[in-house]
Structure 1
Amino acid sequence: MLDAVARLRRFNRAVTREAGALDTSFLGRGRPLGAVRVLVMVRPEGTDVALIRDRLGLDSGLMSRFLRSLEREGLIETGPDPDDRRRRIARLTAAGEAEVAAYDAIGHARAARLIARAGARAGELVAAMDLIATLLNRDQLEIRPADPDSPEMLSCWRGYFDELCARVPGARPELFPVPDPGADSYRPPHGRCLVAWSDDLPVGCVSLRPIDATTAEVKRLWVDASARGQGLARRLMAAIEDEARAMGLAALKLDTNSALAEAIALYRQTGWTDIAPYTGAPADTWLGKTL
């Protein structure tokens, strides 16, 4: 039986071959993978060159060579940021947009073929890939505001409600309509929604809605299975508490259920304490925190 390190190296070789990482013409369009990774990170409206370099882990010299090559092909244009001339901005040209669309189409078709090869185990394959990608992207995970009716927020809320229904006695899908009819209470200036992103995949969320002028309720803390065990729930709670402080709130409340033991343990570890019940079933645990 191969040990874990040998199995990981075997996996790396298979992915390198499948992804075409060593090909001089990635996906048959005449450029190496590195140049393509730079190209697809550039947006028509402009992307900070330093952001691309940092996200891809490139040194300045290699980044410069990729940019010059893409400029010579007429796929991008670079120039100073009008608001901060120390920064350089790269923008896609019309030809660049067409080239990115071509790569997207080819990549999508190749990915669909790979998933089809998995047959009945396709769900396992995708879940495993999510786990690996989220772990590899751990240091680049970002928490950003979201609208309660945005696709990413609705996706996270569905994941949260599915878990509640699977784990909490008395929780039923009809109790949790999506989209939420009370979505406006989660929008600024009343409330807040935060989503955790691993690259372009939403992997966690937390929300805040008002109770009164000085108190708000933390709701719907959720982390996707692929991102658990990495401290993301703690980061999300810290982020929403910071949002509450910035809003001038004095205290927070939340309700939960004893079936969600991991969440309750996190709350208690971070200064939340028991308070009087303020909601009904399926909640059976109520906590508060002074800011």
Structure 2
Amino acid sequence: MEPVHTEPVSTEQVAAFRRFNRYFTRRIGALDDHYLGQDRPLGEARLLFEIGDGVSLRELRSRLGLDAGYLSRMAKALEAQGMVRVTVHPDDNRLRMVALTPAGQVELKEQQRRANALVAHLLGGLTDTQRADLTEAMTTTRRLLRLAAITVDLVDGASADARACLDAYADDIDERFPEGFDKSDLVRADEVSGDAGAFFVAYEEDRPVGCGALRRLGPGVGEIRHVWVHPDARRLGLARRILDALEREGRRRGFDVVRLDTHATLSEAQAMYRACGYTEIARYDDNVYASHWFEKRLG
């Protein structure tokens, strides 16, 4: 796994994070066995919310990051209370489904009412400007926490996750390029594996959400290819994280410079490359999709 920062985290930053966490969990009642004044702790209340119109226990495990045994015990407890109904999927007897009963739907509706009232009460003590500031701060906090939790890992260029990311990348740009995109122009696995190059995949909770490739062009020269982020993970700063991982790998391999090209329609990519220290250069390849070429010296 690639490190996500280049400088150590200070003790003050750790203390501030933990201090905020203690305050927030206490303020919203997360420590109370009767969350929002109802007869259950936060864990069970959250599970009712996530079940919604019905879902598989497998999906809940993935969505909430819960241990299978712990989730099963909570589901059984809610079933015993008449809040949920656990069944077997009609087309797959290995898959257990869980849905709210009418009683569970009533409780969830009341839970939502109380949660909204709690938030309205908290925000009621602030001015409109302060509420806007708080909302913006929470949005930034969520974005940065998501980014912090994503890992950018070196994988084999022939791995299933690498090829799945490249397929998604190709489908994405095929829609954006006026002339379309031919998947045969994707890098080959042997070009981005072993001594020839490297392939990185970004993971959010074990789900691939981005990628980037590095291949050797010549002595001391590398080329960055196919930097891509899933639409659900965009505007987090993840593309820069992937680019940074590729540059560090280039330095490790002894490259003095890395180059890349991009399409005329990808204006956001061009802006990112310039902001990250890349300078535009003359054409260096015969890529039919490229209209801008960049390079960066690796200090």
- TM-score interval for Structure 1 and Structure 2 normalised by the shorter chain: 0.5 to 0.7
| 1:219 counterpart = 2:225 | yes
Normalising by structure 2, report the TM-score.
Answer: 0.54
| 1:241 counterpart = 2:247 | yes
User: Secondary structure of 2:225's partner?
Assistant: strand
Structure 1 match to 2:216 = 210
Which of residues 190, 198, 204 is equivalent to 1:198? 204
Structure 2 match to 1:154 = 163
CA 1:164–1:198 in 2, change beyond 3 Å: closer, same or farther? same
Give RMSD over aligned pairs. 3.4
**Aligned structure 1 segments of 4 or more residues deviating by more than 2 angstroms:** 12-16, 18-21, 36-41, 134-139, 169-177
CA 1:174–1:151 in 2, change beyond 3 Å: closer, same or farther? closer
Structure 1 match to 2:47 = 16
Structure 2 match to 1:170 = 179
User: Secondary structure of 1:268's partner?
Assistant: helix
Structure 2 match to 1:284 = 291
CA 1:18–1:245 in 2, change beyond 3 Å: closer, same or farther? same
Letter in 1 for 2:294: L
Which of residues 256, 260, 281 is equivalent to 2:266? 260
Distance (whole Å) between structure 2 residues aligned to residue 282 and residue 205 of structure 1: 19
Which digits, 9 at most, give the CA deviation of each residue in 1:54-97, with x for residues without a partner?
A: xxxxxxxxxxxx9xxxxxxxxxxxxxxxxxxxxxxxxxxxxxxx
Distance (whole Å) between structure 1 residues aligned to residue 67 and residue 170 of structure 2: 38
Which digits, 9 at most, give the CA deviation of each residue in 1:21-63, with x for residues without a partner?
A: 9xxxxx7xxxxx9xx966459xxxxxxxxxxxxxxxxxxxxxx
Identity %: 31
2:169 and 2:226 in contact (8 A); partners too: yes
1:169 and 1:282 in contact (8 A); partners too: no
User: Secondary structure of 1:259's partner?
Assistant: coil
1:171 and 1:282 in contact (8 A); partners too: no
1:208 and 1:219 in contact (8 A); partners too: yes
User: Secondary structure of 2:196's partner?
Assistant: coil
Letter in 2 for 1:227: A
